[in-house]
Every structure is written in C-alpha cells, then in structure tokens.
Amino acid sequence: MALILHKYEKIALEMEQEIRAGYYPTGRKLPSDIELSEKYDTSRGTIRTVKELLFAKGLVERISNKGYFISKPVFVREQEIISTADMFEKAGVDVTTEIESFEKIQVDSIVGIKMNLLHKEEVYKLKRLRIAQNQLVLIEITYLPASRFPNIKRYDFSVFSLSDVIVNNYDVEIKRVIDEVYVGKITGDYAQRMLGRRKGPVLVVESTMYDYEDIPVKYTKTIGDYSAFTYKATKEKKSGFS
C-alpha cells in the first residue's frame, strides 16, 4: 500500500534529508518558525510539529528558551547486528526479559514513516525490559504491522525470540537490517533503574528489519546503558535476530 503523508511529514522528511546531507551543520540552530513557514508555505503550527518530529528522531536537540539545534551525526549501518541474547551470552552474563506491555495500537507518524505504513494503520507495540545482574540494561520497544502478524500476541516473548517467531511461524525471510545509532537521554524511573540516577545519556539504536521484497517487517528502538550495550556489525547473514 502507498504511504500517505501529511504536509508536516513531507516537510520533516525533506528536512531530515538535508540534515543527513550536512546542509545544517552540527550545533547550528534551526531557522525560526516564521522563516520555515515562509520557505515551505505553511503555518507556524505545522513547523512546530515538524521540529518535534525531528526532535523525536534524535536529529535535533531542544534547548529551553533557545530553540532547536542540530544534534551530533547519526550513524547508519546497512548491516546486521548481534542479537541481544548473543551479546550477553558472549559476555558471559545471564539476561532475563520482562514484558512491560504488548498491545495493538494505531501507528503514529514516526513509526509510519519508518515502516511505510498508512496513517492510523494498526501495529503491535511490544515493550521489553532486559535485566542483567538485577539491573535494567536495555529497553526495547518493537513495532510490528498487525496485518502481517495476526495472533502474534499468543507468544510469550519473555521466553521466545521475536525474530525466530517471525521467521519460523510467519514465513518471513529477512534480507537486511538498517540501524541508526545515536546518543539520547533518559529520565525518571527508567533512568534510575538503568543508570542509578534520575537522568543521563544513553545509546539509542533504531533498527528496521526488511524482508526480501524490501518491505519493513519490524522496527525496534533500543535504549541502553553505555557500560552494558555492545554494538557489533557483520556482513554475513545470521539467524537468531532478537
């Protein structure tokens, strides 16, 4: 199905491309709402929504009373990453998984763009907490198109590998995974459990998994403590994505 974009989503995509191409250098302040509204022939309210989308994707930083500034570069790897389970196994650390939530929702703008889904199309949202040595080390939020994976909620993903279920039970062949890696921030109770303080920096990996028709089948946002999260890319295809 073709992706239907609202005007603010189209503008956000265009600005994202400009940011990634270096048109806006790191640390530069974004133009004012008035300047951008004139450039794109739209309202200032639409521009504010665009900036919030860019902020949510980690492309800009929001500084109170100052505005939005270009974040440090996001690194994109079109390769596979080591699975969460393998990562901890190789480190000799036992990890357990807690299911925070698993629900069917309507896709929002950011996830819709990532997964090429129609506005308000239904997705499954799975939020998992990875615990190692009684400490929260990873938060994983995964989105799956509901039409592609009917009845997937019947599986206990605190035990089963999500990607193994996708491949073995829904006949999905994985072609590639694209990862976007950047520095983010975490606050509140999760920060306390992960970092031992109420706020701090974390490593964020946004992974989009594609089948052999180049259709996104899974999008996961992983938030991790630097001291526990190891990133590794390989060129060979491996089974057992997590």
Contact 140, 128 (CB under 8 A): yes
Domains of the chain, by residue range, sit at: 7-70, 75-234
Q: List Cβ neighbours of 161 (8 Å cut-off, separation of 6 or more).
A: 83, 85, 240, 241, 242
Q: Which residue has the tokens 């526990």?
A: 228
Decide which of 3 and 187 is more confident: 187
Residue 83 confidence (pLDDT) above 80: no
Pairing of strands 122-132, 135-145: antiparallel
CATH number of the domain at 75-234, please?
A: 3.40.1410.10
Residue 2 confidence (pLDDT) above 70: no
For residues 108 and 106, give the distance between their C-alpha atoms in angstroms, rounded to a whole number. 6
For residues 195 and 210, give the distance between their C-alpha atoms in angstroms, rounded to a whole number. 32
For residues 140 and 228, give the distance between their C-alpha atoms in angstroms, rounded to a whole number. 14
DSSP character for 240? -
Alpha carbon of residue 190 to chain centroid: 17
Residue 3 confidence (pLDDT) above 50: no
The torsion angles phi and psi of 24, rounded to 5 degrees, stand at -110, 110
What pLDDT score was predicted for residue 37?
94
For residues 162 and 187, give the distance between their C-alpha atoms in angstroms, rounded to a whole number. 27
Residue 53 confidence (pLDDT) above 50: yes
Strongest mean pLDDT among 51-65, 191-205, 222-236: 191-205
For residues 136 and 128, give the distance between their C-alpha atoms in angstroms, rounded to a whole number. 11
pLDDT confidence tier of residue 149, bands split at 50, 70 and 90: very high
pLDDT confidence tier of residue 123, bands split at 50, 70 and 90: very high
pLDDT confidence tier of residue 239, bands split at 50, 70 and 90: very low
In this structure, the number of other CB atoms found within 10 A of the CB of residue 236 comes to 6
Q: Would you state the structure tokens that stand for residue 89, as one six-digit string?
A: 């196994």
pLDDT confidence tier of residue 4, bands split at 50, 70 and 90: low
What pLDDT score was predicted for residue 166?
92
Region 29-55 average pLDDT: 92
For residues 238 and 80, give the distance between their C-alpha atoms in angstroms, rounded to a whole number. 8
CA nearest 221: which of 138, 141, 117? 141
Give residue-wise pLDDT tens across range 125-138: 999 999 987 889 89
CATH number of the domain at 7-70, please?
A: 1.10.10.10
**Continuous H helices in 57-99:** 84-90
Instruction: Give the dihedral of Cα atoms 220, 20, 80, 55; nearest 10 deg.
Output: -20
What pLDDT score was predicted for residue 9?
84
